[in-house]
Chains A and B, each alone.
Chain A
Amino acid sequence: MNNLCTEIGYHSLFKHGEQLCGDNVEVVEQGENSFVMVLADGLGSGVKANILATLTSKIISTMMAANMSIEDCVSTIASTLPVCEVRKVAYSTFTIIRVVDNEEAEIIQYDNPFVIFMRDGKSVDYPRTAVEIGGKTIYKSKISLQENDIFLAMSDGAIYAGVGKYMNFGWQRENIVDFMEALYHQSYTAKALTTLLLDECDRLYGGEPGDDTTVGAIKIRKREPVNMLFGPPQNPEDVNKMMALFFSKEGKHIVSGGTTSTLASQYLGKPMTSVLEYIDPEIPPIGKIEGVDLVTEGVITVSKVLTYAKSYLTNNEYYGHWSVKNDGASQIARMLFEQSTDINFYVGRAMNPAHQNPDLPISFNIKMNIVDELQKCLKQMGKKIKVSYF
């Protein structure tokens, strides 16, 4: 076990006019620190391709996660996939990236564009061994991992982007490498890398992709724990216990809630100052306590964070707001979505009688729901979450 962890992001552009995507990505975890990502591109487009890609990626990821050999996976697929009436073949290309204990990556590739491997922002060539399995040539590689290593898997829609529109032959893998190297920044998450590359493909396609285009990014990064305290404990006698556990944790500390931050300030013996500036009239101002990385108001701020989290997982429409603004909710969003890898929530279940007013959108139930939903969103972002209730 090392101090690294793996971040995964993937997304697809659908072929213009199609309602289903003929590419599919599956991720299966193998215990805490290992997983398999499979990106499959089914022959053709639409429903047929979608079925082929889904079957291929599901079968391979499940079998690989159960430690079965690639030979077994390929022969299973060959005998399972429905044969296309028109083309008389059952066919789906695939890329498999398996990360073991955050120490080693195994890459298995069949007919998709070769995975781009970047170390410290530069694309690096890696050895590939060709193996014949059932008449298919499959390339295998193994790479020992370091912090900031990036793997980009893609379907061929990515390299065809621009064909006949802005470029005669589309942009090639080398062009994608140049593009990614030019915009590389260490702070970009796997999700951000995926979005940046797909946006460029979409632009080259003139907004009407000629093929399903999928990018799956994997980034190896250092673990960054963030701890968040939200609400005072149900039993006032537990304040010291809750604070002691919270502040003894490694990593950044966020305290959310008026009463909660007052308690934290008493526990630390440091005065709290509140910043008066309303950056965003909807979000109460932040405060400051020495020894705490961020102090915010509670339920209004955190429900805004939840709104940002939900959009981050879909169309990411608020990114332009929270990625740059300095109000409490935007700051929390950046710390949780972008910087952290492991998040520990310390949730207090005290009920503020003043909040149990039907006119106020901040009752106890609403607060607990926000915590639940936020956790779910963060899990979907690939964060490791622990929640302790007090």
Chain B
Amino acid sequence: MKVYVCVGSSCHLKGSYDIINLMKENIAKNGLEDTVELSGAFCLGKCTEGVSIKVEDEVICGVSKENFNEIFDKYILKK
């Protein structure tokens, strides 16, 4: 499964750095290193709604530290 975290200007300012670290932590915690391929993406075109991530072909916006667990659960763990 490919997961991208946007590191464009807007998302960066809204906290891409923290989201990437949370992603890494949670992927390791759930032993998903072999199934999830994490990488950065430059601008997913949803600048107003950042932080944006992309799981396979689906773009998910408005990811924050607060809702991270919920989103990780819904889009990555359950798939």
Known A272-B42, A274-B40, A354-B48; judge A258-B8 contact (CB<8 A).
yes
A-chain residues with CB within 8 Å of residue B47 when the two chains form the complex: 352, 354-355
Contacts of A287 in B (CB 8 A): 40, 42
Q: Which of A20-28, A110-118, A233-241, A297-305 contacts B (4 or more CB under 8 A)?
A: A297-305
Question: Within 8 Å CB of A348, what residues of B?
Answer: none
Chain B residues whose CB sits within 8 angstroms of the CB of A259 once the complex forms: 8, 42-43, 45
Number of interface residues of A (CB under 8 A): 28
Contact with A along B1-19 (1 / 0, CB 8 A): 0001111111011001100
- Which of chain A's residues have a CB closer than 8 A to the CB of B43? 258-259, 262
Q: Is the C-beta of A143 less than 8 angstroms from some C-beta in chain B? A: no
Contact present for A274 and B9 (CB under 8 Å): no
Contact partner, B17, options A258, A274, A278, A352, Cβ 8 Å: A278
> How far is B32's CA from A299's CA once the two chains are assembled, in angstroms?
34
Closest to B46 in A: A354
Bound-state CA distance A360–B13 (Å) is: 8
Q: Which residues of B contact A276 (CB under 8 A)?
A: 5, 7, 20, 38-40
B40 lies within 8 A of A258 (CB) = no
Specify which of B10, B42, B48 is in contact with A274 (CB 8 Å cutoff). B42
Chain B residue with the shortest CB-CB distance to A367? B9
**With an 8 A cutoff between CB atoms, is B77 at the interface?**
no
A299 touches B17 (CB 8 A): no
Nearest to B47 among chain A residues (CB) is A354
A336 to chain B minimum Cβ distance, whole angstroms, is 20
B36 at the interface (CB under 8 A from A): no
Given A278-B20, A284-B16, A354-B47, A300:B40 Cβ within 8 A:
no
Of all chain B residues, which has the CB nearest A301? B9
Most buried by A among B6, B8, B42: B42
Q: State in angstroms the CA–CA spacing of A376 and B4 once bound together.
A: 37
Q: Which residue of A258, A278, A354 contacts B42 across the interface (Cβ within 8 Å)?
A: A258
Which residues of chain A are within 8 angstroms of B38 by Cβ–Cβ distance?
Answer: 276
Asked whether A63 is an interface residue with its Cβ less than 8 Å from the other chain, the reply is: no
Q: Do the beta carbons of B9 and A299 come within 8 Å of each other?
A: yes
Interface set, chain B 26-46, CB cutoff 8 A to A:
38-43, 45
How far is A201 from B2 in the complex, measured between Cα atoms in Å?
A: 57
Given A258-B8, A300-B9, the answer on whether A274 and B39 have CB atoms closer than 8 Å is yes
Is residue A12 within 8 Å, beta carbon to beta carbon, of the partner chain? no
Q: Which residues of B contact A (CB under 8 A)?
A: 4-10, 12-13, 16-17, 20, 38-43, 45, 47-48
The 5 nearest A-B residue pairs measured at CB: A258-B43, A354-B47, A274-B40, A258-B8, A258-B42
Sampled A-B contacts (12; CB under 8 Å): A274-B39, A274-B40, A276-B38, A284-B9, A295-B42, A297-B9, A297-B12, A297-B42, A352-B47, A357-B48, A360-B13, A362-B13
